[in-house]
Amino acid sequence: MSILVLIPTDPKMGAELCYRSYEAERCMKEACGHIDVVRDFRDGGVEAGVRGICGRTVAEAVADMGRRIPAMAALRNALIEAYLGDQHSHVMWIDADVVVYDPLLPGKLVQRDSGAVIAPMVKTQGVKDRLHDLAGFVRGGKWAREFPPWWDGVETGCGGGLVEMDCVGTCYLVPADVYRKGGRYGHIEGYTEHMSVCRRAKELGYRVEVDMGLSVFHVNDCGGSGVRAHRNRSEPVRYSMRVCDDGDGHTDAWMDEDVDGEFIKYKGH
């Protein structure tokens, strides 16, 4: 088994964010021996000024998606065509602005459910329980909410279990045969490009799930507000990451950041 990990990276990405992204990638490479990591810097063709849903109403976000999603779909399809090989059992997508995650994340998702399109919870750095990519994480045809309860009928935490979804986004694992059997990214009105691949996966008999017991963290590019946000964070997010080996045969990756007075530690073999 070999997992192809694709990290599409904007060639204009800032130096600080680039450093964070590379640090997370380095930890993953050191911890996992069964992955092929590709960081691709081709320009996705997204026009300047077109951004996601931060600080916008849903209607404004949907209007922007009509311009942004086709370009992102074309980019993802190009990466699949360029890098997917016969040796790959799964494809893992990690957007470059996901900067904190368990170095063993690809293998953990396979272990959780190798027969599914499966994602961890993608949260925003520095704001407790804020979900990122509301339009990407869809259940019952509806976008996720920014704060809990994120979806109807799903309790916060859900005991760390798997929740069936219509679509996931930003950071997720896909069985490679979904692409080999015609799965490609496209624009479905009102949703992100991920929806087309998730629908194809379901047509082929695969599940689409989010693992409530695993979380990754997206850089806080919304500041203190989001779509209809009801919480604010006025102070800037402070972030640092350090990696150490304490002699126990493990690599320890630490994120130091004020998340309601706590810090997060990922420890992997």
CATH code for position 130: 3.90.550
Looking at the structure of the chain, the number of domains it has is 1
C-alpha–C-alpha distance, residues 4 and 59, integer Å: 35
Query: Which residue segment(s) compose the domain that 256 sits in?
Result: 2-268
pLDDT per residue as tens digits for the range 81-123: 999 999 999 999 999 999 999 999 999 999 999 999 999 999 9
Residues 6+ positions from 248 with CB-CB distance below 8 Å: none
- Inter-residue contact 63 to 51 (CB < 8 Å): no
> Which amino acid would we find at residue 241?
M
Q: Show the tokens assigned to 25.
A: 């990638």
Residues 6+ positions from 17 with CB-CB distance below 8 Å: 96, 97, 99, 219
pLDDT per residue as tens digits for the range 30-68: 999 899 999 999 876 554 333 445 555 666 766 777 778
* Model confidence, pTM: 0.80
Handedness of CA 37, 113, 218, 261 (dihedral sign): negative
